[in-house]
Each structure stands twice: as C-alpha cells, then as structure tokens.
Amino acid sequence: MLTPTTILLVVTTVVSLAALYLSPRLLEECAFRPYRVWRGQNLDSIYLAGFVHANLLHLTVNMWCLWLFGSELAERIGGTLFVLLYALALITSHIPTLFKEHDNPQYASVGASGAISAVVFAYIVYYPQSELYLLFLPIPLPAWLFGVLYLIYSVYASRDKSSRINHDAHFWGAVTGLVFVLFTDPAAWARLL
C-alpha cells in the first residue's frame, strides 16, 4: 500500500535524481533564491526547492529521516494531516530565510530539510521518550533531549555565514512541527508536558 510517506519518498527521489543527473537546469530552476522571490520572481521555488537536493548524500539523509520518522508519524496522525504538515513546512521553513537573505543575489537553498525537521519534531511530541542516536555519539538520547540539542545547534550554526547549509530552515521547520501538533492535537502537548 502506498502511504503518504512512500509517495513523498518516491516523488522526491525521482525529481532529485533527475535534477542531479539528467537536468541540472531543473535544480537551478527549483532552487529557492530569496533575492528573486523578494522581487516577485520564481515564487514557486519556495515550495519546489524541497523536491530537489544538492547531492546524493543530502537526498539520502533527508529521505532516510523521512522514512524513519515519517512512517510512524503518518500512521499516528493520518495521511491527510501528514501531507499538510509536510507541505506547510516546505513553505514556513523558508520564510525566515526570505527575510534574512533577500538582498543576497548569490544565496540559494535546496532540499526538504525544513519539512523533514517538522516531521521529526512532530514525532518528538508524540514519542518524547523514543531513543535517538547522534552520528558521533554512540549512546541513545531521549527524543526530547535530542530535540533541544538540535534546536540549540541550529541557532548556533545559523550564525555561520560561510555555511552552505540552511540551518534557519532546519530550525523553523522544527518550530512548524511543534506548532502544528499544538493546533491539531493539543492533547499530545498536554501529555508531553
């Protein structure tokens, strides 16, 4: 059976691979460029950028996280809410970057990381005691602690102007996931607190 997670995985993978290997122009056209969007150009890139990735590692990590957290979350909240969360986060995670980088014609961002962060943080609200591992730390952390550390890191890393990673999208995607659950299932937050 095709779940929302499976469909998102397949579509994102196919589009990303096509952009990477068959049509680099597609990658360029879908990239979110705040400078252009601010000036009324390529408005659809605020959404489409989530379906193309910078390289195979970027795509693999995002799709692995989508599968890992998204499958269980979609089962918990239902396919409609899951797709709504994902689509909303693709947009909301880019808005702060739009304001921050609107005067920088060189800035571009691709990837679904903001939406993936929303999925991970919605998952954390529902499963705060799940054990998660950091790549460099072989001991499990409760999901809620992982979430706190991730948010702190994202704020810190977003200050690095030389980074090619949109840490603001990670942070605001996470916030979107938290707020989404607050509005769609306040009881989950009550259980968490």
- How many Å apart are CA 37 and CA 28, to the nearest integer? 14
- How many Å apart are CA 55 and CA 58, to the nearest integer? 5
Q: What is the pLDDT of residue 23?
A: 82
Task: State pLDDT tens for residues 102-131.
Answer: 999 999 999 999 999 999 999 999 999 999
Q: What is the CATH number that goes with domain 4-192?
A: 1.20.1540.10
Other CB atoms within a 10 A radius of the CB of residue 125 amount to: 21
What's the alpha-carbon Rg for the chain, to the nearest Å? 16
Say what the pTM is: 0.90
Q: Which of 53-57, 131-135, 140-144, 176-180 has the lowest mean pLDDT?
A: 131-135
Q: What is the pLDDT of residue 2?
A: 66
Mean confidence (pLDDT) of the chain: 89
Average pLDDT on 46-65 reads 87
Q: What is the pLDDT of residue 113?
A: 92
- How many Å apart are CA 128 and CA 145, to the nearest integer? 8
Average pLDDT on 50-78 reads 88
- Is 90 exceeded by the pLDDT of residue 177? yes
170: its two tokens: 């990670």
Residue with more model confidence, 154 or 2: 154
- The one-letter amino acid code at 85 reads L
